[in-house]
Amino acid sequence: MTKTLPQPFTKQQLRDSFNKAAETYDAFAIVQREVCERLLERLDYIKVEPQMILDIGAGTGQGTQGLALQYPDAHIVSMDIAENMLLKNRQKIQTQSSLAEKVKNLFKAKQRYQFVCADAEQLSFSDASMDMIFSSLTIQWCPDLTRLFNEFRRVLKPGGLLMFTTLGTETLHELRASWAEVSDKIHVNHFADMHDIGDALYNVQVENPLMDNEIIVLNYQSIKQILVELKAVGAHNQNTGREKALTGKNRLQGMYKAYEKFRTEEGYPVTYEVLYGHAWNPKTPLQKTRSDAKVQQTSISLAQLKSTLGSREHS
């Protein structure tokens, strides 16, 4: 049975946090940039020619730009829950596009890029509409993994590819342990175990799911710098029950003191456990079966069925 992660924040809090971080994100998103680049590099070893790509949690656009270089003929949908992130994303695309491409796009029935503000757990796209879903360091903000992956399956075409990264349980363990010494409140987000994500993929019946992980450790010269950078990328504490005022300040100093035990010659370490995953949407449409004493009924999305029949005709 797949675990559902605790959610100490609401989607509105998440949206507000990343909207506020849009201006500072690029300057501090060191791990996010590196992980996205590593996920893009993995596409070099997979033979696909997607025409429609959905970049979920696109943020300020690193993945979108990388996908555009990798697949120059593809239409790319950049999706994020925070509209300010998408505005930054679009500004980058407009700045970096050549004048010739801009002129050409004026006469296209379909623009090459599309920007959509939406929630990953409630995708606003038609069934079987995407050849690929690409998502880097986003699904850790989605507590119901089975629901999330069912949505991914719904919008992927039969035979479509899912590529993602997320954060594992070892992420920020130093900060979590330090807070635990001075407070029983949740100060650091919980992250899924790799096996739980694998179970969720298995439950939605994707094909050939593959997962692996790696540890990335950054060293900082001060604990305050750690907290500043987490806030600058929108990943700081959003708990509704977080401590405030004097009590909060006293506990903050206690956390600083507790963190000292992790200090090395290189500074204060911050661990990120990065989980990589990819899987294929089966070429057979996702079926939902309902049965009772008299009849068994199976429903298949019309878009999925048409897409499957089309792929068979060209195979």
Kindly report, residue by residue over 151-207, the tens digit of the pLDDT.
999 999 999 999 999 999 999 999 999 999 998 888 888 899 999 999 999 999 999
Q: What is the pLDDT, as a whole number, of residue 234? A: 86
Contact assessment for residue 172 and residue 271, using Cβ atoms and an 8 Å cutoff: yes
Residue 273 CA to chain centroid, in angstroms? 14
- Residue 288 forms part of a structural domain: no
- Residue 235 forms part of a structural domain: no
What would the mean pLDDT of 139-159 be, rounded to a whole number? Answer: 95
- Residue 4 forms part of a structural domain: no
Residue (of 208, 216, 206, 209) closest to 195 by Cα position: 209
Give the range with max mean pLDDT: 60-69, 108-117, 241-250, 284-293.
60-69
Tally the residues of the chain: 315
Q: How much of the chain is in helix, strand and coil states, percent to nearest 5?
A: 45, 25, 35
Q: What is the pLDDT, as a whole number, of residue 7? A: 59
Q: Is 14 left (phi over 0), alpha (psi -120 to 50) or beta?
A: alpha
Q: What angle do CA 91, 92, 98 make, to 5 degrees?
A: 105
Q: Which two tokens stand for residue 142?
A: 């989605």
Q: pLDDT (tens digit, 9 = 90+) per residue, 214-268?
A: 999 999 999 999 999 999 998 755 554 555 544 578 899 999 999 999 999 999 9
Q: pLDDT (tens digit, 9 = 90+) per residue, 14-39?
A: 999 999 999 999 999 999 999 999 99
Looking at the structure of the chain, the number of domains it has is 1
**Where in the sequence is the domain holding 95, given as residue range(s)?**
11-171+189-219+271-283+297-310
- Residue 201 forms part of a structural domain: yes
- Residue 54 forms part of a structural domain: yes
- Residue 59 forms part of a structural domain: yes
- Residue 79 forms part of a structural domain: yes
| Burial group, residue 205, by CB count within 10 angstroms (0-12, 13-18, 19+) | middle
- Residue 238 forms part of a structural domain: no
Q: What is the CATH number for 71?
A: 3.40.50.150
Q: What is the pLDDT, as a whole number, of residue 6? A: 54
| Burial group, residue 103, by CB count within 10 angstroms (0-12, 13-18, 19+) | exposed
In this model, does residue 288 exceed pLDDT 80? Answer: no
Least confident of 107-111, 144-148, 183-187: 107-111
